[in-house]
């Protein structure tokens, strides 16, 4: 078994070795794999990948982002990034321009202190490098303005000197999002070095986990055994992958060696293998009505077996519906796969897939195996009541939900039609404060004959104060749904992927109606059923050959989940 180093710098930022020299040194050291993670640049990646093609060391494309949190530098490492993805290149272009502007200003300030320096001169002195304060310090030392690197920082380059220029404030959350959208794994770099108290560090980790952080460096050159143990415990507590590396800079960090750091570092290749398994896990988000379910609200035995095969292979299933949680769980019960998944998870742990739900159009994220709410977003009570009052004026059916039943504005054809498919009891009531024990997750208007009337109602709602508070979408020609703007199937997909530590590009989303559009847009692959509305099909990457009555979802699983296509 070999060792890896997932945090290494070249002279494309502030290391001393070229990318090629790093490869040769890694081979000499017997490394199985190495990640090039230069500061805020990927300029060395093409070179290192090409040179290493016939070498016995795997190169992982990476970057180390500089961000700010509570007025402190916090670094995020991105591993396995698609460094040519448009979302990543757009971010990098903006950041590079910000850094260039800052460097011009810093040079101007130093000239005001009597130092003969220009940004152009720095670029000539350090070609093909991202200019950092380390380069300024070496420039000042070489030109005789200071006698040591420390003096350069104390007099001219430190955060509290009169010449220092703060860079644009990039948040950790922003680069975590960019990394995930570029297909990579965001890692909190050397968390022990920031000087946070135990409580504040945990607050940071919890906050970044919610933003999509997937890993943290539990192994690092400067960690003591006690610090390493604490970092491992923190990572485990928040379901984060472990990562580690030397933070090698060559001669620019004397005494710190590749792979071994200051002598006791060892990052086992198992750390890398676990990351790769995560990158190969996929998740299927499927709508229910008109997608997973037939017109008769059934699932064929063929499709049931295909879903179980997918989960056995380590992938996860998310039932994404406008339905309440209890109704989704009823569908899951009919699938008869939950008990088998429970056994697989008990046997294989994180290696097994799971079953989850996003209910009420993404307002509730639910772990169907663990029987727990993971996250939820409500409709404010005043907004729900306002919708009820407006619908009554329009003579429209409207309803909402408690945890156990539907609250309908009237005992009419609409509620009887609805509950024949959604097997929940209902009560009639107009005063929601009297009927509900907590704010609802969604509100639904129904017109079984006149979609145009629902569209007119929607237009009035969107032009009112309610339009600033709520999102809405049709789930079929009869149903117009209202929910919190933080909900919606697209937001739910992102939130669920981040909770499950699965990159969004590994998500496959399938639907048939307007309320599925945001979901298929956020997924790596967005699929419209053959029977989907023409409007939805415009947004899809793929349209199934088979409709919901002919196991179209099985087609999707074979094409996008159980293959590498």
State the Cα–Cα distance between residues 211 and 204, nearest whole angstrom.
11
- Kindly give the confidence (pLDDT) of every residue in the chain, 565 residues in length, as a single tens digit, with 9 standing for 90 and above: 699 999 999 999 989 999 999 999 999 999 999 999 999 999 999 999 999 999 999 999 999 998 989 888 899 999 999 999 999 999 988 888 888 888 999 999 999 999 999 999 999 999 877 788 889 999 999 999 999 989 999 999 988 899 988 777 789 999 999 999 999 999 999 999 999 999 999 999 999 999 999 999 999 999 999 999 999 999 999 999 999 999 999 998 999 999 999 999 999 999 999 999 999 999 999 999 999 999 999 999 999 999 999 998 889 999 999 999 999 999 999 888 888 888 877 776 655 679 999 999 999 999 999 999 999 999 999 999 999 999 999 999 999 999 899 999 999 999 999 998 888 899 999 999 999 999 999 999 999 999 999 999 999 999 999 999 999 999 999 999 999 999 999 999 999 999 999 999 999 999 999 999 999 999 999 999 999 999 999 999 999 999 999 999 999 999 999 986 4
CB distance 184 to 78 below 8 Å: yes
359 close to 441: Cβ distance less than 8 angstroms: yes
Could you tell me the sign of the dihedral formed by the alpha carbons of 133, 134, 138, 139, in that order? negative
Residue indicated by tokens 């000539």 = 124
- Torsion sign over Cα 173, 179, 184, 186: negative
Could you report the per-residue pLDDT of 345-357, keeping only the tens digit for each?
777 665 567 999 9
The pLDDT value given to residue 343: 83
* Beta strand residue intervals within 431-538, DSSP E: 442-446, 470-474, 479-484, 507-511, 525-528
Domain covering 92-157, topology: DNA polymerase; domain 1 (1.10.150)
pLDDT, position 127: 87
In this prediction, residue 565 carries a pLDDT of 44
Contact status, residue 304 vs residue 528, Cβ threshold 8 Å: no
Q: What is the pLDDT of residue 129?
A: 78
Tell me the backbone φ, ψ of residue 113, rounded to 5 degrees: -95, 5
Quote the CA–CA distance of 369 and 373 in Å, as a whole number: 11
Q: Which of 228, 154, 156, 145 is nearest to 192 (CA)?
A: 228
- How far is the C-alpha of 168 from the C-alpha of 145, rounded, in Å? 28
pLDDT of 350: 52
pTM: 0.81
The dihedrals phi and psi of 556, each to the nearest 5 degrees, come to: -65, -45
Q: Are 512 and 526 contacting, i.e. CB atoms less than 8 angstroms apart?
A: no
Determine whether domain 381-484 maps to CATH 3.50.50.60.
no
Domain 281-377+487-561, CATH homologous superfamily name and number: HAD superfamily/HAD-like (3.40.50.1000)
Query: What's the pLDDT score for residue 164?
Result: 87
Cα distance between residue 338 and residue 352, in whole Å: 13
Domain boundaries, the chain: 4-90+169-279, 92-157, 281-377+487-561, 381-484
Give the pLDDT confidence score for residue 168 in this predicted structure: 75
Q: Which residues of 285-321 are buried (b: 16+ CB within 10 A; e: fewer)?
A: bbbbbbbbbbeeeebeeebeebbbebbeebbbbbbbb
> What three-state secondary structure class fits 156?
helix
| Cα–Cα distance, 538 to 533 (Å, whole number) | 9
Q: pLDDT digits over 237-248, tens only?
A: 999 999 999 999
Coil, helix or strand for 196?
coil
The CATH superfamily of 4-90+169-279 is Metal-dependent hydrolases (3.20.20.140)
- As a whole number of angstroms, the distance between CA 37 and CA 48 comes to 12
């Amino acid at each position: 078994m070999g060792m890896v180093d997932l945090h290494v710098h070249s002279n494309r930022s502030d290391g001393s070795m070229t990318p090629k020299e790093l490869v040769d040194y890694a081979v000499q050291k017997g490394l199985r794999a190495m990640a090039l993670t230069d500061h805020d640049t990927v300029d060395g990646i093409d070179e290192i990948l090409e040179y290493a093609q016939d070498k016995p060391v795997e190169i992982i494309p990476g970057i180390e982002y500089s961000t700010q949190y509570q007025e402190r530098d916090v670094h995020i490492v991105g591993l396995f990034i698609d460094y040519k993805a448009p979302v990543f290149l757009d971010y990098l272009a903006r950041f590079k321009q910000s850094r260039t502007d800052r460097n011009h200003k810093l040079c101007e300030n130093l000239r005001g202190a009597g130092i003969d320096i220009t940004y152009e001169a720095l670029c000539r002195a350090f070609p093909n490098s991202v200019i950092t304060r380390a380069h300024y310090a070496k420039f000042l030392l070489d030109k005789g303005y200071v006698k040591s690197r420390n003096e350069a920082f104390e007099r001219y380059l430190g955060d509290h000197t009169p010449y220092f220029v703060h860079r644009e404030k990039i948040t950790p959350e922003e680069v975590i999002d960019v990394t995930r959208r570029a297909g990579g794994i965001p890692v909190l770099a050397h968390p022990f070095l920031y000087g946070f108290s135990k409580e504040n560090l945990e607050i940071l980790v919890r906050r970044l986990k919610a933003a999509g952080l997937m890993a943290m460096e539990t192994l690092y050159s400067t960690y003591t055994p006690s610090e390493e143990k604490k970092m491992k415990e923190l990572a485990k507590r928040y379901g984060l992958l472990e990562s580690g590396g030397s933070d090698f800079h060559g001669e620019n960090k004397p005494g710190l060696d590749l792979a071994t750091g200051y002598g006791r570092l060892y990052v086992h290749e198992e750390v890398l293998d676990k990351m790769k398994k995560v990158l190969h896990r996929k998740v299927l988000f499927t709508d229910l009505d008109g997608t997973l379910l037939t017109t008769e609200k059934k699932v064929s035995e063929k499709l049931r077996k295909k879903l179980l095969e997918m989960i056995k292979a380590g992938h996860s299933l998310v039932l994404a519906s406008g339905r309440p949680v209890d109704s989704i769980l009823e569908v899951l019960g009919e699938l008869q796969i939950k008990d088998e998944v429970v056994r697989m998870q008990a046997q294989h742990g994180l290696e097994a897939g799971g079953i989850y739900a996003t209910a009420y159009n993404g307002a509730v994220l639910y772990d169907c195996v663990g029987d727990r709410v993971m996250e939820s977003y409500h409709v404010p009570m005043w907004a729900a009541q306002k919708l009820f009052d407006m619908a009554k004026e329009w003579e429209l059916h409207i309803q909402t939900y408690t945890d156990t039943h539907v609250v309908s504005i009237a005992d009419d054809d609409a509620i009887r039609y609805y509950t024949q498919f959604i097997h929940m009891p209902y009560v009639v009531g107009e005063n929601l404060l009297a009927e509900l024990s907590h704010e609802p997750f969604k509100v639904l208007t129904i017109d079984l004959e006149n979609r145009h009337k629902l569209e007119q109602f929607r237009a009035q709602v969107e032009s009112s104060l309610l339009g600033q508070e709520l999102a809405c979408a049709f789930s079929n020609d009869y149903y117009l749904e209202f929910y919190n703007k933080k909900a919606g199937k697209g937001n739910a997909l992102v939130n669920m992927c981040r909770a499950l530590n699965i990159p969004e590009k590994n998500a496959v989303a399938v639907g048939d109606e307007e309320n599925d559009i945001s979901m298929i847009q956020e997924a790596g692959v967005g699929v419209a059923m053959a029977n989907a509305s023409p409007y939805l099909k415009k947004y899809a990457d793929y349209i199934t050959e088979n409709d919901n009555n002919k196991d179209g979802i099985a087609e999707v699983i074979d094409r996008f989940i159980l293959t590498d296509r």
